Structure 1
Amino acid sequence: MRKLVIDARPGEYAVARLGPGASVPPRLFEPGDSLVSVTRTPGELSVVCAADRVPEDAVVETGWRVLTVRGPLDFTLTGIMAALSSELAAAGVSLFALSTYDTDHLLVKDADLERAVAALRGGGHEVHGT
C-alpha cells in the first residue's frame, strides 16, 4: 500500500438522517468550504455536513471530524479504504466512510481523533491539520 497524505478538516461535522421522501434542504449547497454529502436510498435521505448546517427535523449524530485523503486518486487504485479502515480498527477507532469522484473521506468521532491520527501515522501516512 502506498503511503497517503491525509488532511484533518477543521470544525465539527454531523451525520443526519431524514425520511425517504424528504427534500434536500437548499442551504446545504450554499457556498462554503465544508464537505457536504447527500445520499438518497429507498429508505432514507442521508446527509453529512458541517454541524451548523444540519437539516431541521433530522435524526442527528454529531461530534464527527473529517479526515480527507489528498487526491485525486485514480480509480484503478485498490485497497485505500481497506488499509485506512484496518489501521483505525486496530486502534479501536470506528469510522464513517464516504468517497467522492476525486478521493476518500473518513469521519471519526472528535474524541477519537488523536488516536486515529496516531494510528494513521503509525501506518506510515502523513496527517496534516491536527
Structure 2
Amino acid sequence: MSSMPLHLMKHPEPLVVARLDPGAEPDWDWQQGPFASLSRTPHETSVVCLAQDVPDGVTVEGPFIGVEVAGPLAFDAVGVMAEILNPLVAVNISVLAFATYDTDWVLVPEGDAAVAVEVWRRAGLIVTPTVLTGRRDS
C-alpha cells in the first residue's frame, strides 16, 4: 500500500446476497444499484443486488451496506483487504469481500455499518458517504 490513507466510499442502498439453484438465472432485474454481481459454482448461483429488487420466496442474507474502495487499484497492490478487514476483526464484524477489475468492495451487515465506519476512521482510513445511485421505487 502507498503512504496515502485508504479511501472507502459507503453506499446507502441496502444490498442482499440471494442464493439460487446451480445454473439458475435470476428472473428479476438484479443489475441496478451501486454494486451487483452474479457468481456461479457447480453448487449454486449467487446474486448480490438491491434488497428491494429480490422477489419474495428467494433465499437471501442481508441487508448489507456496500463499501467501495476508491480506485482504480493496481493489480499488484498488496494489503488492501487486510487494511480493511483487520480493524473489523478486532470488533468481531464479519463482511463479504468482492473484487472487480478496478477496485475492491466489502459488504457490511447493515446493523454493523455505523460501528465499522467509526472503527475504520480510528484506524486512519478515510470513509465518505456516497449519494444514492440505484433505482428507488418508493
Q: Same fold (TM over 0.5)?
A: yes
Partner SS state of residue 102, structure 1: coil
Partner SS state of residue 102, structure 2: coil
Q: Aligned-residue CA RMSD in angstroms?
A: 1.7
The equivalent residue for 2:85 is 85
**Runs of 5+ unmatched residues, structure 2:** 131-138
Q: Is the 8 A contact 1:69 1:103 kept in 2?
A: yes
Tell me by how many angstroms 1:57 deviates.
4.3
**Runs of 5+ unmatched residues, structure 1:** none
State how far apart, in whole Å, the 2-side matches of 1:91 and 1:34 are. 26
Tell me by how many angstroms 1:55 deviates.
5.0
State how far apart, in whole Å, the 1-side matches of 2:28 and 2:114 are. 34
State how far apart, in whole Å, the 2-side matches of 1:90 and 1:109 are. 16
The equivalent residue for 1:99 is 99
As a proportion of its length, which structure holds more helix? 1
Map of 1:45-84 to 2, 5 A cutoff? 45-54=45-54, 57-84=57-84
Tell me by how many angstroms 1:34 deviates.
2.6
1:28-85 per-residue CA deviation (whole Å, 9 max, x = no partner) reads: 23xx443101101111101111101225542101221111110000001011112211
The equivalent residue for 1:21 is 23
Partner SS state of residue 67, structure 1: strand
State how far apart, in whole Å, the 2-side matches of 1:69 and 1:98 are. 11
Q: How many residues align?
A: 128
When residues 94 and 51 of structure 1 are mapped into structure 2, their CA distance, relative to the original with a 3 A threshold, is same
Q: Which TM-score applies when normalising by structure 1? A: 0.89
State how far apart, in whole Å, the 2-side matches of 1:43 and 1:74 are. 32
Partner SS state of residue 73, structure 2: coil
Tell me by how many angstroms 1:87 deviates.
1.1
Q: Which TM-score applies when normalising by structure 2? A: 0.85
